[in-house]
């Protein structure tokens, strides 16, 4: 199976990262174990979760699965800190990071995290404090590498400068929202900075919350759910349907699915290490894995 190096780290990962946001939410433990088994059987080794997913339940399921399968050494494990976990439990202060990493390690049933990411920027805490705390975790061996999610270019650049100035471990990757419909936020300053600094990039919402799976269509009845409302508000517009129409054409030409084309496109972008995908069934997971083998032509890519 294809592997890609994550930025300047020693981590070699599959270009489709399994997103654990579904664990304990839309996938119960039995289903979660089944799709994780299928992911590993398909060559996968990269799992991304966060303390806030299921308020700890996602990390707990991943931890129980790794313990049951005895495969911690074969998994590149990523989790995140900073999003709201409860009253006064959020942010990137030194005290909170040092407390919350212990909770994550306990839930994950491991003594180290391969990639520990700031889930979102904390404007109320000095970057010197945040990066100093993360550096302590790296020096202690509890964390191997650091990453950032939802940072803008200016703050990411400043965080890198802080680490350089103090000799701290730095952010080695970025996790931005990026897909065929929502491109502007990443393409531009953020993309240029990541390429300049050699940062790995792991995209989330890679299938636009399911819009780029092809199941949401113009004129088709929408399910009643918060996720469906999000898709409707963000993606079901003239631009979204125009992109989906072109993805349909490319998919038909390659006898591929809409989701496979959307993911294969991301993986052709410069500097992209992996696209995060989630699945709630083995069949769905196997479909998504097919994106790694799909080769899009120059004409395909230029059509988007």
Three-class secondary structure assignment of 228-293: HHHHHHHHCCHHHHHHHHHHHHHHHHHCCCHHHHHHHHHHHCCCEEEEEECCCCHHHHHHHHHHHH
Identify the bridge partners of residue 203 per DSSP, sorted by sequence position.
Answer: 275
The pLDDT confidence band at residue 217, using thresholds 50, 70 and 90, is confident
Contacts of 133 (CB under 8 A, 6+ apart): 92, 93, 94, 97, 98
CB 155 within 8 A of CB 131: no
The pLDDT confidence band at residue 224, using thresholds 50, 70 and 90, is low
Instruction: Provide the CATH topology of domain 4-302.
Output: TIM Barrel (3.20.20)
Domain ranges of the chain: 4-302
The pLDDT confidence band at residue 233, using thresholds 50, 70 and 90, is confident
Contacts of 105 (CB under 8 A, 6+ apart): 111, 112, 113, 142
Residue 96 belongs to what H/E stretch? helix 94-108
What's the helix, strand, coil split of the chain in %, to 5? Answer: 50, 15, 35
Phi-psi sector, 263: left (phi>0), alpha (psi -120 to 50), beta = alpha
Q: What is the pLDDT of residue 278?
A: 96
Q: What is the pLDDT of residues 169-196, one digit of tens each?
A: 999 999 999 999 999 999 999 999 999 9
Residues belonging to the active site: 53
The pLDDT confidence band at residue 220, using thresholds 50, 70 and 90, is low
CA-CA distance, 258 to 250, in Å (whole number)?
A: 8
**Mean pLDDT, the chain, whole residue set:** 95
The secondary structure of residue 51, as a DSSP letter, is T
Percent of the chain with pLDDT over 90: 90
CA-CA distance, 261 to 36, in Å (whole number)?
A: 22
pLDDT (mean) for 108-118: 98
């Amino acid at each position: 199976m294809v592997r890609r190096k994550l930025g300047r780290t020693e981590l070699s990962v599959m270009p489709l990262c399994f997103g654990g946001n579904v664990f304990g939410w839309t996938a119960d433990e039995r289903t979660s174990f089944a799709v994780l088994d299928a992911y590993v059987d398909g060559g996968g080794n990269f799992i991304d979760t966060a303390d806030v997913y299921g308020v700890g339940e996602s990390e707990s399921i991943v931890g129980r699965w790794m313990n049951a399968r005895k495969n911690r050494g074969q998994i590149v494990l990523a989790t995140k800190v900073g999003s709201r976990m409860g009253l006064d439990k959020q942010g990137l202060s030194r005290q909170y990071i040092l407390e919350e990493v212990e909770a994550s390690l306990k839930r994950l049933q491991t003594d180290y995290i391969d990639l520990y990411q700031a889930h979102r920027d904390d404007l109320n805490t000095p970057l010197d404090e945040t990066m100093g705390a993360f550096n302590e975790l790296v020096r202690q061996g509890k964390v191997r590498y650091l990453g950032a999610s939802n940072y803008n270019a200016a703050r990411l650049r400043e965080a890198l400068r802080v680490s350089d100035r103090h000799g701290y471990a730095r952010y080695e990757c970025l996790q931005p929202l990026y897909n065929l419909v929502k491109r502007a936020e990443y393409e531009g300053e953020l993309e240029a900075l990541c390429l300049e600094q050699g940062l790995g990039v792991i995209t989330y919402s890679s299938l636009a919350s399911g819009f780029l799976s092809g199941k949401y269509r113009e004129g088709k009845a929408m399910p009643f759910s918060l996720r469906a409302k999000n898709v409707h508000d963000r993606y079901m517009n003239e631009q979204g349907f125009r992109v989906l129409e072109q993805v349909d054409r490319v998919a038909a030409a390659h006898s591929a699915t809409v989701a496979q084309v959307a993911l294969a496109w991301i993986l052709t972008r410069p500097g992209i290490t992996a696209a995060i995908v989630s699945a709630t069934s083995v069949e769905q997971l196997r479909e998504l894995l097919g994106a790694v083998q799909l080769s899009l032509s120059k004409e395909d890519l230029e059509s988007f």
